[in-house]
Chains A and B, each alone.
Chain A
Amino acid sequence: MIQTESNDMAQQKEIVTLTVREALRDAMAEEMRADKTVFLMGEEVAEYNGAYKVSQGMLDEFGSKRVIDTPITEHGFAGVGVGAAFGGLKPIVEFMTFNFSMQAIDQIVNSAAKTLYMSGGQMGCPIVFRGPNGAASRVGAQHSQCFASWYAHIPGLKVISPYTAGDAKALLKAAIRDPNPVVFLENELLYGVEFDDVSTDPEHVLPIGKAKIARAGSDVTITAFSAMVGKALEAANKLAEEGIDAEVIDLLTIRPLDTETIIQSVMKTNRIVSVEESWPFAGIGSEIAAAVSEEAFDYLDAPVTRVAGEDVPMPYAANLEKLALPQVEDIIAAVKDVCYKG
C-alpha cells in the first residue's frame, strides 16, 4: 500500500484504501448509478469482467444494455461510441490497451474532437476513452507505448493520466461528467497497487486541468504523470538523504496542462526535470520545456532537463526493457545535473 500526502483529505467524509483497479470501477459504477445515459462498452468488459478486471461486477449490477461486450473491432466500436455520444448518451469506451486505439484514432481525432468546432458549437461529444497506456511488463514494442503526447496534441480533446487510486477515481468521475471527449490514460502496472487516498463520497471529483504537488520541496521541480510519479517520489526520497529537497508535481491532466503550477514551482526552485515514460521527441517534456522557457526563463538556474523513455521501439529482453524505461537512478542523475551536484 502506498501512503500519499494529500492536502485536503481531512475535509473529506471518508477516505479508504483501494487498488487503482477498484477505484476506477467505483468511479464508473457511481456515475452509472447517478446518470442513466452513462454506459460502458469495450472488449471483454461485461462477461469477462474486464480484460484487467477493471469492470468487475458491473455487468451483474447494470445489465448487458449498459455494460456492452464489443467484438474486437476498435475502429468500429469507437465510431459507434462517438455516434452514441452525438445521439445524447455518455459512453465510456474501454480500449483493452491504448495501443489498440491507433486502429480507432481517426474516430477519436476527426469525429470526437473536431465536430464541436466544425458544427459551430452545436454538436458536443461527451465521451470517455479509457484503458491502460504505456509500458506494462515484457510485452514488446507493439504493446508498450505511451499515447499522452499523441492525444494531447489535439485541440478538442482533454487528456488525463493519474497516478494514485484516489486521483484516478475523482478524475474519472470528472471525465464522465465532462461534456467533452476525454482520453483517460491508465497504467496496467498500477491497477493492483493500493493507495490510501480514495474518497467514498460519490460527489467528490477533482477539477480537470489542475496538477497537484505530490511532494513539496524547495531545491528542484520534478514533473511526472502516471507511474512515473512513483519513480519521481522514490527519487525525491533518496535525494533528500543527500540534502536535495525536490518538489514533485503530479501533472494529473496532460491537456489542458496546468502550466501555472509548474511555473510557480520553477519560480521557487529555479530548476526543473521533466519525467515521462514515453519517447522524448515532441513529448510532454518538450511542451513543458517550451512553457518554462517562455514563461519562466529568467528564473532558470539550469537548462530544463528531460528524463524520458529511450528513443527506440520497446525491446522484449528484460535487461533491454529496463534500459529503455526511465529508472529512479536516471531521475536522480538528472536532478543532480541541474543542481550542479553531479
Chain B
Amino acid sequence: MAKKKTQVSKEQALEYYRQMLLIRRFEERAGQLYGMGLIAGFCHLYIGQEAVVVGIQSVLSDKDSVITAYRDHGHMLACGMDPNGVMAELTGREGGLSKGKGGSMHMFSREKNFYGGHGIVGAQIPLGTGLALAHQYNKDGGLCVAYMGDGASNQGQVYEAYNMASLWKLPVIYVIENNQYGMGTSTKRSSTGKNYYSRGQGWDIPGEKAEGMDLTVIREAAQRAVDHVRSGKGPYILEFDTYRYRGHSMSDPGNYRSKEEVEGVKVNRDPIDCFKAHILKDYNVTEDELKLLDKEIKAIVLDSVEFSKTSPEPDPSELYTDILVESN
C-alpha cells in the first residue's frame, strides 16, 4: 500500500502531541491568571478543541495564511507565535503581541501569516476570503484557512463569502469548529439541518464532516482539502465535531449543558489522551519521553506567565500610536 501523505514519523507525532499539550497547559494557566485578576475582559479558552488547529496546521505550508475569530490562543500557538507574547497580550502588557492594545481576541503576526484574532462573529470569513483573493492575485501558491465556529456559521456574510469564493475559485479552506454550542445555545436550538459543511452545496463547494477529537482523522481530512484547493478547484469546507470543556468565556458557568455530558467527552474523546494512547502504542513512545515533554511544556508556560506579569504596562504615549500609518 502506498504511504499516505498523512503518515508521520515518530518525531512529527511527538511534535503534534507537544503542540496540543502546549495549548492545553497554556490555556489552563490563562484561566488561572483570569481568576487571579491578571487577565480581564473576554477570554475564550480553547481547551478540548486542540486537535483541530494542530491537525490543520500540520498540513499547511509557510506561504499559507490563517485567520480565525476570538477563541484564538490555540491558533496562535499552533502557528508558532511566541507564548510569551500571547500571554503578555492577555495581561495587557507592553511585551504582548499587540503591545497590550489588542487583548485576547486581537493578535496578529505578519511573520507567521496569522491575520487575527477577530471579535465580530463571522467577520473573519470575508476577510479570509480576501486573503485568498490576494494569494490568487499574487500567484504565490498559498491558500487561506479561515476558521469559524458553529455560531458564526449562521451569519449571512459567511454565505456571501462562500458565493464569491466559489465564483472566483479562490484558494480558501473554511474550517468549521463545531463545538456544539454558540455561547449558550446548542446547535439544535440555533440551526436547521444536520450539518454545516453541507451548506456549501448551494455554492458548489465540496465539504465533509469528521471527528474533531482525533488528530489523525483531522489531518487526513485537512490533506484532502489542501489537495483540492491547491489544484485550483476553489474552496473547500471542513466541519469538525469537537467540544470545548470550559464555558464560552470566563464568565460563563455553562449551565446549559450537563456535567455528565462534559465529563463524557473528557473521559471518552479527549484529543490529547486519544493521541497519547496512539503514540504509546504505535510509535513505541515511552512514558519517560512524554514526562520529559510535560516538563518542557510546563517550563515554557511558566516562563510565559512570568513574562506576562513582569512585562510593564504600555507607556501612556502608546494610547496615541498605531491609529494611522504615517505617510511618507
Residues of A within 8 A of B (CB): 39, 65, 68, 70-71, 73, 75-89, 106-107, 110-111, 115-124, 126, 155-156, 158, 177-180, 208
Contact = CB atoms under 8 A, between A and B. Distances in A.
B126 A71 contact: no
B65 interface: yes
Contacts, number: 152
Nearest to A89: B134
A76 B163 contact: yes
A179 B327 CA distance: 7
Given A76-B126, A83-B131, A180-B324, A119 B107 contact: yes
Given A80-B127, A156-B323, 10 more contacts: A76-B161, A77-B160, A80-B130, A80-B161, A86-B127, A86-B130, A115-B108, A119-B106, A156-B324, A180-B327
24 contacts: A68-B168, A73-B160, A75-B156, A76-B129, A76-B160, A79-B127, A80-B161, A82-B126, A82-B130, A83-B115, A83-B133, A84-B137, A87-B131, A106-B123, A111-B120, A118-B116, A119-B116, A120-B99, A120-B100, A120-B322, A122-B108, A178-B327, A179-B325, A180-B324
Interface string B48-72: 0000000000000000010100000
B325 A122 contact: no
A87 B134 contact: yes
B131 A79 contact: no
Contact of B157 (A75, A85, A123): A75
Nearest to B314: A120
B130 A106 contact: no
Interface of B: 65, 67, 96-103, 106-110, 115-120, 123, 125-135, 137-138, 156-157, 160-161, 163-164, 167-168, 321-325, 327
A120 B108 CA distance: 9
A123 B324 contact: no
Nearest to A208: B327
B323 A116 contact: yes
Contacts of A177: 327
Most buried by A among B129, B167, B322: B322
Contact of A79 (B106, B110, B125): B125
Contact of B102 (A65, A118, A180): A118
B164 A118 contact: no
A73 B322 CA distance: 30
A87 B322 contact: no
B127 to A, nearest CB: 4
Given A87-B133, A115-B116, A124-B325, A71 B125 contact: no
A294 to B, nearest CB: 19
B70 to A, nearest CB: 12
A38 B119 CA distance: 28
A111 B65 contact: no
A79 B115 CA distance: 13
A119 B67 CA distance: 14
A81 B157 CA distance: 13
A78 B129 CA distance: 11
B138 A106 contact: no
B325 A79 contact: no
B324 A84 contact: no
B109 to A, nearest CB: 7
A89 B131 CA distance: 9
A58 B324 CA distance: 30
B132, B156, B157, B167: which has the most chain A beta carbons within 10 Å? B157
Given A76-B164, A123-B110, A123-B116, A83 B157 contact: no
B126 A75 contact: yes
A117 B101 contact: yes
A106 B110 CA distance: 23
A118 B130 contact: no
Contacts of B325: 116, 124, 126, 179-180
Contact of B98 (A83, A119, A124, A208): A119
Given A84-B134, A179-B325, A76 B157 contact: yes
A88 B134 contact: yes
B123 A110 contact: yes
B65 A120 contact: no
